Amino acid sequence: MNPAIETHRLLDLMPASGRMFAKIVSQPSLSKVIDTPFPVPWKRDRLILINFDFWQELSQPQRDLLLLRTVCWQLEIRWFKLDVYQGLGLAGIVATAVQVSQGDAVGIVAAGSLTAIALNQIWRQNQATASELAADEGAIAVAQRRGYDEVEAAKALVSAIKAVSELEGRPGLSFTELVRCQNLRAIAGVSGVTVPEGLRQEE
């Protein structure tokens, strides 16, 4: 597999919103098939790291759905949407700046703590199972606009999750991966068991 040709194909596959910031980087030493560092608000580019030696072992539908799923997960992360924790984080940053300018050591510690708590909560929300499920479902929606049908896309992503675990030499799937697979089987119509609503609302 030529990484440059595959990278160009994957960029064409992405939704336009992902293409604006995603940057695919070949990472031969990567222990994972595909990975993405947690996006931070002060960096525009969101890296997608791929070990193309592993990548070429997957079928094209598996590769397509893994890539779309990674991009959709990135799109789910919005540091500056209007909710309680983003508001607290922004307020904490402003308060910290004010306290620093005034040289108030106690105020700096208090405002900095508020910022850290809020930003940690944002990070936790985006690592939750609910965020993972949303990314899978987003990938299937984009795949349907790229010629896949819903069942085909869901099955490809289930098989990709399992194949990635084997390629990475892991003993089995994680709890979150098992939940994701169950949700994808329900979408594909091969299982009548759906994911409990509580997992979709966790923070």
pLDDT by residue (tens digit) across 80-129?
A: 544 444 455 555 555 556 655 666 555 555 555 655 555 555 545 554 68
* Residues whose CB falls within 8 Å of the CB of residue 61, separated by 6 or more in sequence, listed in order: 148, 152, 153, 156, 160
Q: What pLDDT, on a 0 to 100 scale, did the predictor assign at position 190?
A: 83
Contact 38, 126 (CB under 8 A): yes
Q: What pLDDT, on a 0 to 100 scale, did the predictor assign at position 84?
A: 46
Contact 180, 136 (CB under 8 A): yes
Distance CA 17, CA 112 (A): 33
Distance CA 85, CA 144 (A): 33
Q: What pLDDT, on a 0 to 100 scale, did the predictor assign at position 34?
A: 97
Q: What pLDDT, on a 0 to 100 scale, did the predictor assign at position 123?
A: 46
The confidence band for 21, taking pLDDT boundaries of 50, 70 and 90, is: confident
Of these ranges, 124-128, 157-161, 175-179, the one predicted with the greatest mean pLDDT is 157-161
Place of tokens 């939750």: 128
Checking if the pLDDT of 203 tops 50, the result is no
